[in-house]
Amino acid sequence: MTAVTAGTAGTTGVPGASDTAAAAEQAAYEAVFDAAVAADERIEPRDWMPEAYRASLVRQIAQHAHSEIIGMQPEANWITRAPSLRRKAILMAKVQDEAGHGLYLYSAAETLGTSRDELLDKLHSGRQKYSSIFNYPTLTWADVGAIGWLVDGAAITNQVPLCRCSYGPYARAMVRVCKEESFHQRQGYEALLALSRGTEAQHAMAQDAVDRWWWPSLMMFGPPDDESTHTAQAMAWKIKRHSNDELRQRFVDIAVPQAEALGLTLPDPDLRWNEERGHYDFGPIDWTEFWDVLKGNGPCNDQRLSKRRQAHEDGAWVREAAAAYADKHTGKHGEAQA
């Protein structure tokens, strides 16, 4: 979309313009924006966009970026204890990719006029959230496999439609992220398969992990449609393409046969194929737990945020040193930041 750029849109409300003229101009921009969205065109950083669209994207992309960064912790917890060198290499590569995904996503958010520092500040002060799934602990090695299979699986189900999101930079970041996530998901599945087919103790470890991660993974799709505050608007703007419940159902339908192939069970007595619907029916989600975790009362909320803040605070002198060095040696530090 190139019809209206920020250069012209930025003049909306110039002093002296009459209210009616400004309103007419605003309406014209909105019409162009709405038409672009309706035609499945991509909105780009310099295009005019409604403030609420911008704010909604910043919120969603930032939360997504924060999830990548906080999501490094539960897995990094097992890097030093990975049981084989091959698994250790795979896990290190995965955690490295997550940091990379965080970087793409912060960059995508920055195209909307915010900055990484500002977003990190909001994360550290609790004003912006991250995915509630990362507030659960990784208690055994099998949790690393379960996260790969279920958590990454749920993330991919959520993110693949975002590759067609109306905002260009976010959609393009998602294409890259999804490729890497799919790879991680297969590796997680394969790690669980090795455990499931291993010794009795390994099989039990895998089953226990799946039992603990199944429900939190279903909660990753967010509240049910009738309680989701952002869904309707996000769908109208084509930021989201499917509702929470649709994506959750899609994930269950994919995961059930995978669990069977793994030789593991899912912890839901109500789970069964519904011939009529052509979908799996599944039991009720404990939304009390979901809201509790979201409000900060999950098993690891404090730990995750404290560790993130600590890393940031401990690193302050390093960032200051880099800035001071750049100032001294190029004198262009300020320009580079501008």
One residue of 45, 83, 168, 224 binding another protein per CB under 8 A: 83
Q: Which is nearer to another protein, 20 or 199 (CB)?
A: 199
Least separation in angstroms between residue 327's CB and another protein is 9
Find, among 222, 219, 80, the residue nearest to 144 by Cα: 80
Q: Which of residues 123-152 bind another protein (CB under 8 A)?
A: 141
One residue of 23, 24, 28, 96 binding another protein per CB under 8 A: 96
One residue of 13, 21, 24, 81 binding another protein per CB under 8 A: 81
Residue recorded with tokens 């969205």: 37
| Among the residue ranges 80-88, 149-157, 227-235, 279-287, the one whose residues contact another protein (CB under 8 A) | 80-88
Q: Taking CB under 8 A as the rule, does residue 265 contact another protein?
A: no
Q: Write out the chain in H/E/C secondary structure.
A: CCCCEHHHHCCCCCCCCCHHHHHHHHHHHHHHHHHHHHCCCCECCCECCCHHHHHHHHHHHHHHHHHHHHCHHHHHCCHHHCCCHHHHHHHHHHHHHHHHHHHHHHHHHHCCCCCHHHHHHHHHCCCCCCCHHHHCCCCCCHHHHHHHHHHHHHHHHHHCHHHHCCEHHHHHHHHHHHHHHHHHHHHHHHHHHHHHCCCHHHHHHHHHHHHHHHHHHHHCCCCCHHHCCCHHHHHHCCCCCCCHHHHHHHHHHHHHHHHHHHCCCCCCCCCEEECCCCEEECCCCCHHHHHHHHHHHCCCHHHHHHHHHHHHHHCHHHHHHHHHHHHHHHCCHHHHHC
One residue of 1, 69, 210, 259 binding another protein per CB under 8 A: 69
One residue of 22, 32, 103, 254 binding another protein per CB under 8 A: 103
Q: Which is nearer to another protein, 212 or 308 (CB)?
A: 308
Q: Taking CB under 8 A as the rule, does residue 122 contact another protein?
A: no
> CA–CA distance from 254 to each of 14, 20, 43, 257 (Å)?
53, 53, 32, 6
Site string for another protein, 316-335 (x = CB under 8 A): xxxxxxxxxxx-xx------
Q: Taking CB under 8 A as the rule, does residue 86 contact another protein?
A: yes
Q: Taking CB under 8 A as the rule, does residue 95 contact another protein?
A: yes
One residue of 9, 194, 204, 254 binding another protein per CB under 8 A: 194
Judge whether 9 and 27 are in contact, CB under 8 Å: no
One residue of 296, 315, 330, 332 binding another protein per CB under 8 A: 315
Least separation in angstroms between residue 281's CB and another protein is 35
One residue of 82, 156, 254, 271 binding another protein per CB under 8 A: 82
Q: Taking CB under 8 A as the rule, does residue 336 contact another protein?
A: no
Q: Which is nearer to another protein, 19 or 200 (CB)?
A: 200
One residue of 233, 303, 311, 334 binding another protein per CB under 8 A: 311
Binding site for another protein (CB under 8 A): 69, 72-73, 76, 79-89, 92-93, 95-96, 99-100, 102-103, 106, 141, 191, 194-195, 198-199, 201-202, 307, 310-312, 314-326, 328-329
